[in-house]
């Protein structure tokens, strides 16, 4: 029998309820029990006890949109770079992720896919790599943001088939601008392949968005960013998203990508269980320094915001624990709901909520322990402690 680890005396958020001074019992790669204080008993010989008094114990964070971190980035097309980002984000409570590929010349894009797939097989001592997120290349050049417009292409089912084949069916999500010729057919093809389709980098009208939703779009890439704005006679992408409750939305909650007032608007309009916190993080995340390279271009961090030389916002240096903290700081989202936005909601987006995103018996032992200021003290991935703060 596997050694037992008991994380005890913390405030446990299971994804269904909160337990004061609860206990999470881990054996091997899974949770075997979650106990209220009244049902706890002294540990048996050989069991490891982790005292989480005064700390939050929650499911590990799931980041479905992340490009880099810890000095590694998907654009390097190197499994070691992907491993570095996986290990870096584990320090901030991320236990699962979708490394995200930028649009690039075809051979480079395939190289990035190959690198992620290789890292996924090797699985470093960091966050579990669940698959690949393709941010494009079927995007609208007029809304390219920090992406390279020359690397975008019109959507075709042939191109999708080649991407899926290159990934060995590990693509879990893809961003598409539904207004592009051929997009509706590709969206339908994604649905047939069980690939989550998101709208993003799009200049779609309301009518074009409805066609995309009816074809299978059910997610939004970094809401508000790089997409057509709302006008009272032209709802556009954002207007359509905000009135369709069933569409989940990614939010980069660093208060730079989206103004705090617009975060409040989103909270008031969208159900909390349809908001997914993401980092959209770049290679420098988790490191000191202000100047680095991402997607082959120089990026500079000024006052906490990463920008290209022309001033365009280029991803973030956000971490998932900080995103949760920022959501709670709005005063509109209870901690329990903010945690779900980083755990259970993205698990549902990927259809893995029976294994991840909760602390329940038989769930994967993906666990984060944080202090009252959201500093991560311990991260466990499938029963393995991959990060432990000094003295904890």
Residues with a catalytic annotation lie at 280
49 touches 6 (CB < 8 A): yes
Burial class (CB in 10 A: 0-12, 13-18, 19+), 1: exposed
- Distance of alpha carbon 208 from its chain centroid, rounded? 27
Q: What's the CA gap between 349 and 340, in Å, rounded?
A: 12
**Alpha-carbon gap, residue 314 to 301, rounded angstroms:** 10
Pair 4, 48: CB distance under 8 Å: yes
Count other Cβ atoms within 10 Å, centred on residue 324. Answer: 27
d(CA 379, CA 60): 7
Residues 50 and 330: beta-carbon distance below 8 Å: no
188: region left, alpha or beta (phi > 0 left; psi from -120 to 50 alpha): alpha
**Per the structure block, which two tokens stand in for 93?**
């409570």
DSSP string, 186-222: HHHHHHHTT-EEEE-SB---HHHHHHHHHHT--EESS
The DSSP bridge pattern shows strands 297-302 and 305-308 to be antiparallel
Query: CA–CA distance from 341 to each of 33, 160, 245, 345 (Å)?
Result: 23, 29, 15, 5
Q: Which of 271, 391, 389 is nearest to 341 (CA)?
A: 271
């Amino acid at each position: 029998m596997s050694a037992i680890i008991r994380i005890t005396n913390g405030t446990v958020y299971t994804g269904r309820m909160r337990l004061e001074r609860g206990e999470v019992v881990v054996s091997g790669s899974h949770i075997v029990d979650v106990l209220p204080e009244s049902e706890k008993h002294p540990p048996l010989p050989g069991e490891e006890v982790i005292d989480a008094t005064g700390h939050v114990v929650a499911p590990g964070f799931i980041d479905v949109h992340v490009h880099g971190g810890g000095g590694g980035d998907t654009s390097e097309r190197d499994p070691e770079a992907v491993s570095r980002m996986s290990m870096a984000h584990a320090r901030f409570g991320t236990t699962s992720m979708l490394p995200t590929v930028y649009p690039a010349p075809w051979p480079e894009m395939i190289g990035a896919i190959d690198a992620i797939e290789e890292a996924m097989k090797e699985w470093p001592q960091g966050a579990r790599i669940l698959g690949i997120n393709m941010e494009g290349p079927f995007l609208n050049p007029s809304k390219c943001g920090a992406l390279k417009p020359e690397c975008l292409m019109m959507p075709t089912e042939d191109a999708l088939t080649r991407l899926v084949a290159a990934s060995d069916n590990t693509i879990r999500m893809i961003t598409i601008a539904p207004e592009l010729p051929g997009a509706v057919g590709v969206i339908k093809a994604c649905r047939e392949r069980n690939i989550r389709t998101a709208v993003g980098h799009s200049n779609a009208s309301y009518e074009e968005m409805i066609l995309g939703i009816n074809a299978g779009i059910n997610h939004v890439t970094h809401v508000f960013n790089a997409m057509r704005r709302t006008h009272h006679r032209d709802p556009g992408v954002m207007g359509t998203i905000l009135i369709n409750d069933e569409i989940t939305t990614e939010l980069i909650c660093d208060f730079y990508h989206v103004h705090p007032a617009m975060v409040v608007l989103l909270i008031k309009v969208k159900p909390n269980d349809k908001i997914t916190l993401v980092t959209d993080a770049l290679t420098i995340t988790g490191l000191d320094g202000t100047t680095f390279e991402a997607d082959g271009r120089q990026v500079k961090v000024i006052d906490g915001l990463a920008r290209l030389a022309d001033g365009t916002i280029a991803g973030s240096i956000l971490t998932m624990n900080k995103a949760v903290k920022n959501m709670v700081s709005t005063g509109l989202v209870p901690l329990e709901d903010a945690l779900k936005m980083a755990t259970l909601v993205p698990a549902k987006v990927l259809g893995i909520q029976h294994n991840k995103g909760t602390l329940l018996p038989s769930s994967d032992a993906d666990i984060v322990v944080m202090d009252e200021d959201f500093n991560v003290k311990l991260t466990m991935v499938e029963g393995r402690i991959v990060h432990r703060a000094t003295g904890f």
